[in-house]
Chain A
Amino acid sequence: MNLTVMPHGDIRIIRIEGRLDGITSPQLEQEILRLCEEGCHRLAFEMDALEYVSSAGLRVLLLAVKKTRAAGGRVALYGVGSAIREVLEISGFLSLFPVLATKEEAIDSLTQ
Chain B
Amino acid sequence: MHTGILTGVFGFTTAALIAVLFLLWREWRRTATLQRVGLQLNSTIKRDELLRIIMETSAETMRAEGSSVILADEERGDLYFQVATGERNDEVREIRLQKGEGIAGWVFEHGTSVRIADASRDPRWSNRVANRVNIPTRSMLCVPVISNGKTLGVLQVINKKGGGRFSRRDLRLLEMIASPAAVALENMHLYEALIRTMEEVRVTTAAKERMESELKIAQDIQRSWLPGDSLATDRIELHAELVPARVVGGDFYHFIRLDEHRLLFCLGDVSDKGMPAALFMSGLMIWIQAKAGSDRPPSRILSDINAEISRTDSAMFATIFLAVIDIRTGTIRYVDGGHCPPLIAGPDGVRKLPTVKKLPIGVFEDEVYEEMEYALKPGESIVLYTDGITEAENGRGEWYTADRLIGTVESVRTGTPADVARRVLEDVFAFASGHPQSDDIAVMVLKFRD
Contact surface of A with B, Cβ cutoff 8 Å: 21-22, 54-56, 58-60, 62-63, 66, 70, 89-96
Contacts and interface: CB of A to CB of B under 8 A. Distances in A.
Given A55-B271, A91-B338, 8 more contacts: A59-B317, A62-B271, A62-B363, A66-B312, A90-B341, A91-B339, A92-B358, A96-B359
Contacts of B317: 58-59, 62
B387 interface: yes
Contacts of B5: none
Contacts of A63: 315
Q: Which 7 A-B pairs have the closest CB atoms?
A: A92-B338, A63-B315, A91-B338, A59-B271, A55-B271, A92-B359, A62-B315
Contact of B315 (A60, A89, A90, A93): A60
A56 B272 contact: yes
Nearest to B362: A62
A62 B312 CA distance: 11
Contact of B312 (A55, A70, A90, A92): A70
Contacts of A96: 359, 363
Nearest to A70: B312
B403 to A, nearest CB: 12
Contact of B338 (A21, A60, A93): A93
DSSP class of A's interface residues: helix, strand, loop or mixed? helix
B357 interface: yes
Contacts of A90: 338-341, 357
A91 B272 contact: no
A12 to B, nearest CB: 19
A112 to B, nearest CB: 22
A93 B359 contact: yes
Nearest to B341: A90
Interface string B268-282: 011111000000000
B346 interface: no
B439 interface: yes
6 contacts: A22-B272, A55-B270, A55-B271, A56-B273, A90-B338, A91-B339
A92 B338 CA distance: 5
Interface in B359-385: 359-360, 363
A68 to B, nearest CB: 12
A56 B438 CA distance: 12
Nearest to B336: A92
Contact of A58 (B271, B391, B439): B271
Contact of B360 (A22, A60, A66, A91): A91
Nearest to A21: B438
B273 A92 contact: no
A91 B357 CA distance: 8
Contacts of A62: 271, 315, 317, 363
Interface core residue of B339, B358, B359, B438 (most chain A CB under 10 Å): B359
A21 B439 CA distance: 11
Contact of A55 (B272, B336, B337, B341): B272
A90 B341 CA distance: 7
B303 interface: no
A110 B271 CA distance: 27
Nearest to A25: B272
A60 B337 CA distance: 18
Contact of A92 (B315, B316, B337, B391): B337
B383 to A, nearest CB: 16
Contact of A66 (B250, B271, B315, B339): B315
Nearest to A57: B271
A35 B270 CA distance: 26
B410 to A, nearest CB: 21
B425 to A, nearest CB: 20
A96 B359 CA distance: 8
B68 interface: no
Interface in B284-339: 312, 315-317, 319, 336-339
A91 B271 CA distance: 11
A56 B340 contact: no
A90 to B, nearest CB: 6
A87 B250 CA distance: 18
A55 to B, nearest CB: 4
Nearest to A87: B387
A31 to B, nearest CB: 14
